[in-house]
Amino acid sequence: MTVVTYAYNGSDTAVATIVAPIIGHEYIFLAANGTPVTGTAVASPLSLTINDIVSGSFGNIPFAVSVADNTSPNNQVACGVFHKNDTAPYVFAATWDYDAPTQTVTVTFDSVAGVDYLLWISDWGPGYADYAFVGNGSMMSVSVTDAGTLAGDFIAFLVTPVAGVDTCYTNRFFSLGVSGAGAPGNPVPDRAGVCERVWRFAVTDLQGETLTILDHLASERTVTPMLNEPLQVTGTVPSDSPEVNMLHTDNLPFLAEGVRQLYCFRRESNVTPYYTIRASTLIMQVGDASRSDDARSRFTAWDPWQYLFSRPVLQSSLAVVVNPQDVPTPGVDGQLIPAQRLLYPSTMRADEIILDILVTTAAFADITAPAAAIEMFIDYNNTGFYTGTIEQCAKFSTGFPIQQGTSVGQALKDMCDTGYVDIVLEPIYDPANRPGILCQLSIYAQSVVNGEITKLGAGSYNYAAQFAWDRPGRSLVGFDDLFDGTGRANHIQYYTGSGGPSITAANDAASIAKYGEYWAQSQSFFPAVSAAEIDSVKAIARMQLALRKTFKQTLTVNPAPERSPDPFVDYYLGDGVPVFIGRPQQDDPSTAPVVGVYRLGDSRSRQTLPPGYTGVPPSPNPLMLVWQRVYGIPIDIDDNGVETVRELIVGPVGAPPPPAGAGGQQAPQTNQQVAITTARQTNRQGGVGP
């Protein structure tokens, strides 16, 4: 069995000696206030040395140390504690007990008279409690009670303080709220290595007070960031766990809908703070179900965008209200929008409109609601701690109308659909300065010309994050590329007003000549009366024609976890990434073969990405790079904490200038008749209410 002993120089250096390590495995040595150190075992013993970040900060307080097998994730080998002014060690047996209601840990052991002991509990965060005492030469039972600071799984140590060396003779892992003897501490089972998990799930109340940790309980976990839509988190937990069903001070279980927030942290570094917040959500669905004698609770949480679907857009004095007779009157701050609509003027930029909607909504909220809910759980530069980005965006030539009954969430979605902006709700975790605030708002300017994105809003063109199926790199294990003509329309007819006259039809002669006639008539009538409004309806028809005159292409790709770029770190929402599927085919198979050019039939897919060569063989143009924009990253997290990107949701986007040294070839603009998302699982309702 692998055994670890620790040495400490009493000032700023700790040494871990690993006896009988697994040859070839990498071990990591962790210490409070210290930068982690790793080493690969080539013989026994393996010695690792760690220094504290600030010289001498180890010395005056107890601090925890831990060694884990880094090759076997979450496999913690041994834990220990150091303390200043230690005495000689000795070996003893002990029994442990944890009383959850009082958060009290008790250890019973045969003590040595006159020897100093320290009983310490810690959750590797700010929560801890300790009790120092002297042995009496007989069986002793001593206890330490947490002062309410423990936030989740924690470890308890009983150590004999030693001058210069300490072998942690007995330690134990416990789950917060679960009474009993805990889990063995040396060696520690996999589930106890909570500090090494890739993902951590923390549940808080609406004021940011941590109630429970779900990493070791949750199964079937998914985290799905979406561009310009609500981020979603799902999972299941055992209903009978005290970490799930224990009542909080509001007389509701730790896991409850509407009054609990779920923060998801992802480990992305080996140095403090190790974890990065990647999802900050409000739990809005909890369902209990049983199969035989096993009851489980399924939870679903969304970022604040979903909550915005339940808050109405209110009138603003910066806009006008247009009545059914098309007569504008100044908006009255805080009032609901009457028939017919609210119209923001053409002098306001898209970013200014977004901020005014949020400011007005918060200013006229019910003051009896929780403070974070009044602000819609969003920091839009209203807290004094804002660090987001707000770019100046385009203006709307005829203004931006908002219909009666439109929710804030739908208004923001409509704004993004114009192609002028990307809205990003960046997850934050700042309970000290912004309690209950889940995200901060960022607004990025975007440009779309003739249906093609000419300037990315959120994200950037990422040359390093390449995805390939049957090409070198092979970072994809599969793809799904659907070409769908059922929604094709090359003759579009819209109408104005309820039962009103038709406007000039929009049609595409080339599409009709190729496919035949495909008609689309509006299923609803546009409330347009003035010439400017009629022009807007015509513009909508032209946009629909540009999107629907050929076919809808829906592409999802399945990255290989061990070979593909790392989500969040190597690429994220809005980024343009190159995707390669199949081998390009020469346009004209009758011509003589060209060196380096694949002939017709060489590809393993029916249609390839890139689509092939252009020009007249045998002198084809260079290979066309197809840049796909990332619109969704559905991530599955298994019970071992391993993450898999299930189906990366992408859509073609115009290519950027070539990188330096790329030979000057610019990838062309690509077909924009593509679905930018495969499925929307969020509330698409424009109005407020059920």
- How does the average pLDDT of the chain come out, rounded? 75
pLDDT > 60? residue 613: no
Residue 225 lies in a domain: yes
Average pLDDT, integer, range 221-248: 92
Mean pLDDT across 292-297 = 88
Better-predicted residue by pLDDT, 228 or 675: 228
Please report the pLDDT score of residue 224 as a whole number. Answer: 95
Average of pLDDT values for 171-181?
A: 77
Do 112 and 211 fall within a single domain? no
Indicate whether 28 and 160 sit together in one domain.
Answer: yes
Rounded to the nearest 10°, the torsion over CA 97, 99, 104, 109 is -20
Q: Are 528 and 572 in a shared domain?
A: no
Residue 323 lies in a domain: no
Cβ atoms within 10 A of the Cβ of 616, count? Answer: 11
The mean pLDDT of 226-252, rounded to a whole number, is 92
In the prediction, which pLDDT does 165 show?
36
Q: 100: exposed, middle or buried (C-beta count within 10 Å: 0-12, 13-18, 19+)?
A: middle
* Confidence (pLDDT) at 64: 56
pLDDT in tens, 485-495: 998 999 988 87
Is 337 part of any domain? no
Residue 31 lies in a domain: yes
Q: Residue 585: which of 575, 571, 599 has the closest Cα?
A: 599
Confidence of residue 461 (pLDDT cuts 50, 70, 90): confident
Q: Is residue 656 predicted with pLDDT exceeding 70?
A: no
Q: Kindly state whether residues 399 and 545 are assigned to the same domain.
A: no
Six-digit token string for 26: 């990498």
Of 176, 194, 212, at which residue does a domain stop? 194
Kindly state whether residues 84 and 21 are assigned to the same domain.
yes
Residue with more model confidence, 5 or 335: 335
pLDDT of residue 92: 46
Question: Are 178 and 215 members of one domain?
Answer: no
- At residue 78 the predicted structure's pLDDT band, cuts being 50, 70 and 90, is low
Q: Residue 611 — pLDDT band, cuts 50, 70, 90? A: low
Cα angle, residue 216 at apex, residues 425 and 201 outer, rounded to 5°: 15
Of residues 423 and 639, more confidently modeled: 423
**Higher-confidence position of 573 and 587:** 573
Mean pLDDT of 667-689: 27
For the segment 322-361, what is each residue's pLDDT rounded down to a tens digit? 876 778 899 999 999 987 789 999 999 999 999 999 999 9
Q: Does any domain span residue 330?
A: no
Q: How confident is the model at residue 524 (pLDDT cuts 50, 70, 90)?
A: low
pLDDT score at 211: 84
Kindly state whether residue 169 falls inside one of the protein's structural domains.
yes
Are 353 and 502 members of one domain?
Answer: no
Q: What is the Cα–Cα distance from 3 to 21, expressed in whole angstroms?
A: 8
Domain containing residue 512: 486-550
Give the pLDDT score at 200: 84
**C-alpha angle with apex 608: 607 to 611, nearest 5 degrees?**
100
pLDDT value of position 31 = 64
Residues 15 and 144 in one domain: yes
Q: How far is CA 682 from CA 104, 259, 305, in A?
A: 43, 20, 10
pLDDT the model gives residue 557: 84
Strand pairing class (439-445; 378-379): parallel
- Residue 334 inside a domain? The answer is no
**pLDDT tens string 89-138:** 333 457 788 888 888 989 887 776 776 677 877 764 556 677 777 778 77
Q: What is the pLDDT of residue 369?
A: 95
Do 361 and 434 belong together in one domain? yes
Strand partners for 138: none
Residue 610 has pLDDT above 90, yes or no: no
Residues 217 and 99 in one domain: no
Q: How many CA atoms lie within 13 A of 572 on its CB side?
A: 12
Number of domains making up the chain: 5
> Rounded to an integer, what distance in angstroms lies between the CA atom of residue 126 and that of residue 32?
11
CA atoms within 13 A on the CB side of 464: 8
Q: Is residue 681 part of a domain?
A: no
Q: Element (H or E) spanning 252, and its range? A: none
Q: Is the pLDDT of residue 584 over 80?
A: no
137 and 17 both lie in a single domain? yes
Q: Which of 550, 576, 599 is the last residue of a domain?
A: 550
Share of the chain above pLDDT 90, in %: 28
Q: Tell which of 194, 217, 241 closes a domain.
A: 194
Same domain, 100 and 158: yes
Provide the pLDDT for residue 205: 92
